[in-house]
Chain A
Amino acid sequence: MKTQGLHKQAVLDSQTTSLRSDDGAVVFNLARVASGVYVERVQERHGDCHIRQAARFQDEEGFLRWIDSDRLQFAHPLLFSRIKRATHELFHQYAEYGPDAGTSHRSA
């Protein structure tokens, strides 16, 4: 039913970077926010369960602790490497220019 898709497509900021696995089962949405970096991890599990986690990180160390604890990294190493790079960039921009610095809107 359509509400399933609607639950998937939660409202995100317009300035969001989306990174997805080749099979589309795992998606990360990243955005810089006033207090750090917002990360949304979306997973379609076994075709019967859809899980969306929204978290916010104030520093890159906290983000790396979280992402490195995720066992999905072993199934999707390239995706996780891209996520780390993209998030590093967001934290770098945040540190350099503050929360209102140049933003991105792209999908990969």
Chain B
Amino acid sequence: MNSSINTQSTARTLEQVIEAPDYFAKVSAVVARLHATTTQAAALESLFDATRLMGVDASVFASFVRDDETHESYRFMLACDPRWCIEYEKIASFADDPWLVYACNHSEPIRGHEIQTYTQRQQEAIKMAENFGFRSSLIIPSPSSGGISRLGVLCVGSNQAGFFDGAAYLAFKLLARSLAMELHEWWVRVVRTELISQADITGEDLALLRLERQGHGTKEIARTLCVSTRAVDSRFYRINAKLGMPSRKAAARVAAEYGLI
């Protein structure tokens, strides 16, 4: 099975890869491109380019949002054989994915073989990834202020066993980490933009949410904004409806998590 998007990497070690002229500059230029990227198609193209230039065979950026107690959203950007994700959905529930579980609880990058697996399903998920360009892997969480209710993780892989085990690992890790963080920032920026435009949040709404987040009560907020307490309650009622949140506290938490306040 051809699971590589990178035709040149198979015979080279990571040390040889990073010694290529302008290696860091070229990858960094692609990473920097994400800053101005507005569409997911363009962001995926950047991930493909970065994967190729980094000299690895596959990469996936996965993001996760716990929308509420009963609903979760996952997004996979696939710079690898995309059949991996179809197979992944078949055999694994996301809670059994050892890479995702690791990313939920840690911020440090880690090589795949350093992650302990405890169940058969976890082992199956790892074995299956090996068939799609992740024989050796590096998992790079990109933590956010949303804690485990919102996270991103970049997984890069090679068809070569032990590809990330050499002396060049530390330098590569820095580069991969910058890519993970930029991808995560891009994703949060997209969600934030949509949040503002679709929920029609105003500057006044943000001021109220900021005060709520600071722990102020209705009377204090009313005094600060020179309005009645009834007006404060009424405004929060509208904000909650706009954001689809059950309470002002929850609305302020979402606004903070997405960087609105």
**Measuring CB to CB, which residues of chain A are less than 8 angstroms from any residue of chain B?**
1-13, 31, 33-35, 38, 40, 47-57, 65-66, 69-71
The one of B45, B68, B190 that contacts A56, using a Cβ cutoff of 8 Å:
B45
Question: What is the interface of chain B mostly: helix, strand, loop, or mixed?
Answer: helix
The reply to whether B41 and A13 form a contact with Cβ atoms under 8 Å apart is yes
Within 8 A of A (CB), among B217-259: 242-245, 250, 254, 258
For the complex, what is the distance from the CA of A1 to the CA of B94, rounded to whole Å? 21
B38 within 8 A of A: yes
Query: Nearest A residue to B65 by beta-carbon distance?
Result: A7
The 3 A-B pairs at the shortest CB distance, nearest first, are namely A4-B67, A55-B82, A2-B244
Q: How large is the interface on B (under 10, 10 to 19, 20 to 34, 35 or more residues)?
A: 35 or more
The reply to whether B45 and A4 form a contact with Cβ atoms under 8 Å apart is no
Within 8 A of A (CB), among B18-64: 38-41, 44-45, 48
Given the interface pairs A1-B244, A49-B72, A53-B82, the reply to whether A10 lies near B195 with Cβ below 8 Å is: no
The reply to whether A12 and B40 form a contact with Cβ atoms under 8 Å apart is yes
The reply to whether A1 and B254 form a contact with Cβ atoms under 8 Å apart is yes
- Which A residues lie within 8 Å of B78 (CB)? 53-55
Among B68, B72, B195, find the residue whose CB has the most chain A CB atoms closer than 10 A. Answer: B72
